[in-house]
Amino acid sequence: MQTLSGKKILLGISGGIAAYKCAELTRRLSERGAQVQVVMTKAAKEFITPLTMQAVSGRPVSDSLLDPAAEASMGHIELAKWADLVLLAPATADLIARTSAGMGNDLLTTLLLATEAPIAIAPAMNQQMYRNIATQENLSTLRRRGMLIWGPASGEQACGDVGLGRMLEPMDLVARCEQYFQPKALQGKSILITAGPTQEAIDPVRYISNHSSGKMGYALANVAQKMGARVTLVSGPVALTPPQGVETLSVKSAEEMLDVVMANVTQHDIFIGCAAVADYKPANIAEQKIKKMAGHEVMNITMVKNPDIIATVAKLDEGRPFTVGFAAETQDVESYAKGKLANKNLDMICANDVSDTTIGFNSNDNAITLYWPDGSLPLGTASKSALAHEILSEIQQQLEKNAVK
């Protein structure tokens, strides 16, 4: 079966020279069974005519927010609801900036605000404009909001420059669409993952934290997204780029992480607590920087317990997701992990021995054994990405087993 058969793709074209390739792109998508609805900005029409796009898509082009006739046939909200995927190609620096700013000053940007469909962006612009910090920051913002960024490619540009900024070729974009719609193991599932450390403030310039780099949690988010899940990542402070297509929410302290998790978790099927949440925090945060005092060789900080985020999730009466924890142990790994599984009322726990510095905290590899109430599975040592795939596959199997019980 064609993977694009019956898929509704809203193709948003903005005013770049690559717009001329959209006729080819539309033909190739349609040949594979997709329904393509073209929406053009005012500038796009300077590069390719709506008549051409109507001819290749077999549908009238939408280009105006304030056209009573167009609104009467398929209004902008209906259009936004119609799409299975919104593809912005070419996406100029201007369209990317307006999208990042949340503007709705033409039909296309209004649709972007109104749609719940995933949005894929194929940037196309001069290489210097692409490298400009404003464009890069706008793209990071969109990536963080979970939008997919496809390309750009590198090469000779229409203006004569050479570098990154060319729109991906139509067949490459078709392949990305096909890959996007490929049936996947976690299709239709939503997962909330926590990652990284928390920082517990002592005063305005100091905090208590740990060595978590976020690599394990980010690998889980990345792989889960590729397996078809809708993923929300709640991340403590890390130096990693948010994974493509994953909505990433940044927090610092355990209290903030708890608030963001609880505000979102009931809209998800699965919760994975991979963050290294500080168990304790300073009882008081000094308002001013604590000064070194002559004659004081010892300084005491009173610590109080932080809320247990995963135990709070696992206690939910309504909307409780399948809840998976991690156990970071330096000794008696199995017994401590099984203890946490039971005490925190989890469905599964991923036990890792963090006494070995070549695995666990801040390394690219890990060694994990999974435990659930009536079973276990040693996954051995592997890269965090490979382990993420194994963990998510096992979660998916457990969910299937629970569904037939």
Enumerate the active-site residues: 159
Asked if 124 and 50 count as a contact pair (C-beta separation under 8 A), the reply is no
To ligand PMT, the closest distance from the beta carbon of 68 in angstroms equals 54
Q: Residues 6 to 35: which contact ligand PMT by CB under 6 A?
A: none
Q: Residues 311 to 340: which contact ligand PMT by CB under 6 A?
A: 325-328, 340
Amino acid in position 48: I
d(C-alpha 242, C-alpha 143), whole Å: 7
* Contact partners, residue 285, CB within 8 Å, separation at least 6: 201, 202, 203
47 labelled ligand-binding: no
Residue closer to ligand PMT by CB (options 112, 314) is: 314
d(C-alpha 101, C-alpha 124), whole Å: 19
Enumerate the β-bridge partners of residue 119: 86
Q: Residues 174 to 233: which contact ligand PMT by CB under 6 A?
A: 196, 212-216
Asked if 349 and 325 count as a contact pair (C-beta separation under 8 A), the reply is yes
- The yes or no reply on residue 277 touching ligand PMT (CB under 6 A) is yes
d(C-alpha 70, C-alpha 291), whole Å: 67
Residue closer to ligand PMT by CB (options 49, 393) is: 393
Q: Which of 306, 323, 369, 396 binds ligand PMT (CB under 6 A)?
A: 306
- The yes or no reply on residue 365 touching ligand PMT (CB under 6 A) is no
Residue closer to ligand PMT by CB (options 181, 326) is: 326
Residue closer to ligand PMT by CB (options 151, 236) is: 236
Residue closer to ligand PMT by CB (options 269, 365) is: 365
DSSP string, 166-231: EPPPHHHHHHHHHHHHS--TTTT-EEEEEESB--EEEETTEEE-----SHHHHHHHHHHHHTT-EE
d(C-alpha 139, C-alpha 264), whole Å: 24
- Quick one: which of 96, 71, 193 has its CA closest to 149? 96
To ligand PMT, the closest distance from the beta carbon of 278 in angstroms equals 7
* Contact partners, residue 75, CB within 8 Å, separation at least 6: none
322 labelled ligand-binding: no
Q: Residues 245 to 264: which contact ligand PMT by CB under 6 A?
A: 254
Strand order in the sheet with 85-91: 35-40, 8-13, 85-91, 119-123, 148-149
Q: Which of 354, 367, 370, 379 binds ligand PMT (CB under 6 A)?
A: 354
To ligand PMT, the closest distance from the beta carbon of 194 in angstroms equals 6
Interface contacts to ligand PMT, rule CB under 6 A: 196, 212-216, 254, 273-277, 279, 306, 308-310, 325-328, 340, 352, 354, 360-362
Q: Where is the binding site for CTP, in residues?
A: 273-275, 279, 289, 307-310, 326, 340, 344
Q: Where is the binding site, in residues?
A: 273-275, 279, 289, 307-310, 326, 340, 344
